[in-house]
Amino acid sequence: MAGHSKWANIKHRKGAQDKRRAKQFTRAIKDISVAVKEGGGPDPEANPALRNAISNSKGVNMPKDTIERAIKKASGADADNYELVTFEGYGPNGIAFFIECTTDNTNRTVASVRSIFAKNGGSLGTNGSLEFLFDKKGVFVLEKEKIERNMEELELELIEGGATTIEKEDDYITVYTEFTDFGLMSSKLEELGIEPKNSEVQRIPLNTIELPVEDSKKILALVDKFEEDDDVQNVYHNLEINDELIEELEKE
């Protein structure tokens, strides 16, 4: 898991000033829309899913007025009718992909995802064929500079909140919980006065496949192609993100 979180943080640093920022905003707005419709309305105090979506929106530096407009639109009669859909398939070298989308046109999204697989040496599979390769986990990214607390004391608090794994990097702490403890950890962080940079349920690979660096970079390029699609919210895979690959990524 450490490699995947390091890779995510590298992408965050490198993507802060480019088109990834626009994609992050689009994703955050869709998350807000779905949270309002499926989580219980436009009041964040009564809607935990919306509170989480707002927190993640702040994590990508979305302006407050943009967040408020997204909530207002999602609760109005002219709200976009988004549907959550997932896809599973294989990329080159047998790398498994699990893709989560939010779309207002399922046929368009299916065609797009299938096309990206086909053009990049992969294939779209049937739903349920690869889900068993991933485990749903709560993932919370905390910024060290915003934590005014002894690290040993913090770890004990996080374990009390359901943390199963705590990974410490230069600027971030990534906390993993069981899927069922996502709400518990959210409440614990709120109690501690810590607002996570990002918090979401992710699909973590149970086993990973290690490839040579150049082959690995092709897989990550395929991940980027999926993420460039407006309907795609999250892309998960079971490529091993090892130290050698991370060193190469940091050079780019």
User: How much is the pLDDT for 83?
Assistant: 86
Q: Where residue 29 sits, what CATH number does that domain have?
A: 1.10.10.200
Domain check: are 225 and 107 in the same one?
yes
Average pLDDT over residues 202-213: 94
Q: Please tell me the predicted confidence (pLDDT) of residue 134.
A: 95
The 10 Å Cβ neighbour count of residue 173 is 23
22 and 118 both lie in a single domain: no
pLDDT band at 5 (very low <50, low <70, confident <90, very high): low
3-12, 140-149, 195-204, 209-218, range with greatest mean pLDDT: 209-218
User: What is the predicted pLDDT for the residue at 140?
Assistant: 94
Work out the angle at residue 26's Cα, subtended by the Cα atoms of residues 80 and 178, and round it to the nearest 5 degrees.
95
- Write the pLDDT tens digit of every residue in 21-47: 777 888 899 989 988 988 788 998 888
- pLDDT for 184: 94
Residue 174 confidence (pLDDT): 93
Question: Tell me, what's the pLDDT at 10?
Answer: 65
| One domain for residues 215 and 122 | yes
Q: What is the pLDDT of residue 148?
A: 84
Report the run of H or E that residue 126 belongs to, with start and end: none
At 235 the pLDDT is: 94
CATH code of 244's domain: 3.30.70.980
186 is in which domain, residue-wise?
135-205
Decide: helix, strand or coil at residue 142.
strand
Same-domain pairing of 99 and 147? no
DSSP H or E segment with residue 96: strand 96-103
| Secondary structure element (H or E) that encloses residue 30, with its range | helix 19-39
Tokens representing residue 118 in the block: 């086909």
Number of domains the chain contains: 3
Q: Are residues 151 and 122 in the same domain?
A: no
Rounded to two decimals, what is the model's pTM? 0.85
Q: Do strands 198-205 and 134-143 pair parallel, antiparallel, or not at all (unpaired)? A: antiparallel
Longest dimension (CA), the chain: 51
Cα distances (Å, whole numbers) of residue 190 to 49, 60, 169, 193: 14, 19, 22, 5
Residue type, 152: E
How many other CB atoms are there within 10 angstroms of residue 124's CB atom?
19
Considering the chain, what is the average pLDDT of its residues?
89
Per-residue pLDDT, 14: 55
Examine the fold and report which residue of 24, 55, 74 is the final residue of a domain before the chain moves on: 74
If pLDDT is split at 50, 70 and 90, which confidence band does 88 have? very high
Q: SS3 of 105, please?
A: coil
pLDDT at 131 over 80: yes
Same-domain check for residues 197 and 226: no
Residue written as token pair 């919210």: 233
57 and 156 together in one domain: no
Are residues 69 and 49 both part of a single domain?
yes
- Measure the CA–CA gap between 227 and 221, rounded to whole angstroms: 10
* Final residue in a domain of this structure, among 57, 74, 91: 74
Which pLDDT band, with edges at 50, 70 and 90, does 203 fall under?
Answer: very high
Angle at 206 between CA 96 and CA 183, to 5 degrees: 110
Same domain, 24 and 140: no
49 and 90, same domain (yes or no):
no
The count of other CB atoms within 10 Å of the CB of residue 158 is 22
pLDDT in tens, 40-77: 889 988 888 898 889 888 878 889 999 999 999 988 87
Same domain assignment for residues 150 and 191: yes
Residue 218 neighbours by CB under 8 Å, 6+ apart: 92
Residue 163 and residue 116 share a domain: no
Residue 117 half-sphere exposure toward CB, CA atoms < 13 A? 22
CA angle 76/38/192 to nearest 5° reads 105
pLDDT of residue 111: 97
Q: What percent of the chain has pLDDT over 70?
A: 92
Q: pLDDT band at 250, cuts 50/70/90?
A: confident
* Residues composing the chain: 252
Query: What is the tens place of the pLDDT at every residue in 169-194?
Result: 878 899 999 999 998 999 999 999 99
